[in-house]
Structure 1
Amino acid sequence: MADVVVVIGAGGIGLAIAKRQGFGKTVLLADFNETVLEAAAQSMKDASYTVETQIVDVASRDSVRALADKAASLGPVMQVVNTAGLSPNMAPPQKVLEVDLYGSAVVFEEFERVIAAGGAGLIISSMAGHMMRQLPEDQEHALAFAPADELLDLPFLKDVPNSLVGYMVAKRANHLRVQAAAMTWGAKGARVNSISPGIIVTPLAQHELNSEIGDGYRAMIAASPSKRMAPPEEIAVAAAYLLGTDAGFVTGSDLLIDGGVIAAMRAGKLPVPA
């Protein structure tokens, strides 16, 4: 049986990673949106990839467990990539936390059951996780180690004022949970890391640029050293490294790929979100 690559989220970044990682493997592509999923899968099948699909809702443990079980039935699960997420302009705070915080934690827990020795996991987080100040130690510990099913009941998450703060907290939690998961995945001979992209040329980014927060995006691009957005393929290059054997000593880490936006914030060229 061929090795299995699981990619959750069939949008721009997910599809770019699936195409880069999927040669000679069985790709299990999953998404909440059936139309997006089928279009992405067809584009891969047209290019002679071996692709299986499944609808998934990362905010549902049963749905994620079913996806993990299907992956295991296809062959050795060697790579798991979670690109699913909601931006702050797409949903209210609680829904952002359900998908970006709880959903990512559930993916870590369920795929830990089926990841093969020598395998690797990767979550696509966001530079937003680097924007906020460090949380109190007890809160960071809870975000890292609380069982996924207890995360949304943490007292300090009950008063998240808006979706942007919820998004930043969720993305910070992604980094923390990668560190925690590195220990449990490591016990199975597997690694797990995250990538924190900046503004990537995807339909989601275009949606943001055309929204009321578009001026803020353009300001970040202008202030950054690179002064541009990046195509999804640039993220796929980094993902290939972190998922591959060349990164065998890299686990529990986050790779910030933002064109220097966070550097510009640290240099005082951009305001730091409150």
Structure 2
Amino acid sequence: MPRTSVITGSASGIGKATRELLEGRGERVIGVDIHDADVVADLATTDGRTAMVDAVRTAAGGSIDAVYAVAGLALPAPATVAVNYFGTVATLEGLRPLLAGSDAPRALLVSSMAALMATDDELVALLAAGDEPAALARAEVLAKEPAATGQLIYSSTKLGLSRWVRRRAAAGEWAGAGIPLNAVSPGIIATPMTADLIATPEGREALLGIVPMPLNGIAEPIVVARLLAWLNSPDNTHLCGQVIYVDGGSDVVLRGDSVW
């Protein structure tokens, strides 16, 4: 019987590429997005997250095999906190019970190599505490200077997600239940999110100066999709709590021989 996967952010970018890849292999995909999806839901709100879980449960008949939490924003605004961190965590925690009936349950989220960049310590701490109102309030403060502190919002949410995976993956409800939970951290990917930044040779060069990708440069979404598909396949039996950088070498350039 074909596997059933749920992909958030399925209407564009990495989410869309992953959906197309899985469907091309004969798998069933329930796509979630704010438009053009099987389940239309706003992961920026508590009600939207609850509605998403309910709709997926109904669409799947109560059981799924894999969760791909891909949806995200890169705006210097509080909405990025709501969607990237709290929307992602709610997706994984809300859909986890639906994995119980699978012979090979799998789950992952998409972080970013931006987690290696400058972040806001206060916001990261509020994310770890699960305090959404306070985290949104902190993001409001940071957003007042979009080109400066506002840029810390995105990287902070991604650092928060990478740490969340590390702290949760070995727990009873994930590894203890036979569910590998991992994260993938892409470098610069040619998606609608980065389209304006890489539209010109000058823009691409400037961005690669910040995010060096010596191996083959900027990647297409399918590069990430292939890795996601393997991580959430039955073939992955033991990779647990890992944050895998598919970034053309950015992690290596920026962190050298550091292994953490």
**TM-score category (smaller protein):** 0.7 to 0.9
8 Å CA contact 1:4, 1:78 repeated in 2: yes
Identity %: 26
CA–CA distance in structure 2, aligned partners of residues 229 and 218 of structure 1: 8
Residue 150 of structure 2 aligns with which residue?
163
For structure 1, the 5+ residue unaligned runs are: 39-52, 268-274
CA–CA distance in structure 2, aligned partners of residues 154 and 133 of structure 1: 13
Residue 209 of structure 2 aligns with which residue?
219
Name the CA shift for 1:134/1:179 in 2 (closer, same or farther; >3 Å).
farther
Cα deviation per residue 1:171-197 (whole Å; 9 max; x = unaligned)?
001111112332232343322111000
SS in 2 for 1:69: helix
> What's the RMSD between the two structures over aligned residues?
2.9
Residue 131 of structure 1 aligns with which residue?
117
After superposition, residues 144-223 of structure 1 pair within 5 angstroms as 144=128, 146-147=129-130, 150-154=131-135, 157=138, 159-160=141-142, 162-182=149-169, 183=171, 184-210=173-199, 216-220=206-210, 223=212
Task: Give the superposition deviation at 1:205.
Answer: 1.7
After superposition, residues 100-119 of structure 1 pair within 5 angstroms as 100-116=84-100, 117=102, 118-119=104-105
Residue 54 of structure 1 aligns with which residue?
39
8 Å CA contact 1:140, 1:173 repeated in 2: yes
SS in 1 for 2:105: strand
CA–CA distance in structure 1, aligned partners of residues 120 and 81 of structure 2: 18
Name the CA shift for 1:169/1:134 in 2 (closer, same or farther; >3 Å).
closer
The answer to which structure has the higher helix fraction is 1
In the alignment, residue 4 of structure 1 is paired with which amino acid? T
Residue correspondences, number: 241
Name the CA shift for 1:93/1:215 in 2 (closer, same or farther; >3 Å).
farther
With structure 2 as the length reference, what TM-score do the two structures score?
0.80
8 Å CA contact 1:140, 1:176 repeated in 2: no
Task: Give the superposition deviation at 1:154.
Answer: 5.0
Name the CA shift for 1:198/1:141 in 2 (closer, same or farther; >3 Å).
same
Q: Is 1:84 aligned with 2:97? A: no
Residue 13 of structure 2 aligns with which residue?
12
SS in 1 for 2:93: helix
Residue 64 of structure 1 aligns with which residue?
49
Task: Give the superposition deviation at 1:105.
Answer: 1.8
Q: Is 1:120 aligned with 2:122? A: no
8 Å CA contact 1:96, 1:163 repeated in 2: no
With structure 1 as the length reference, what TM-score do the two structures score?
0.76
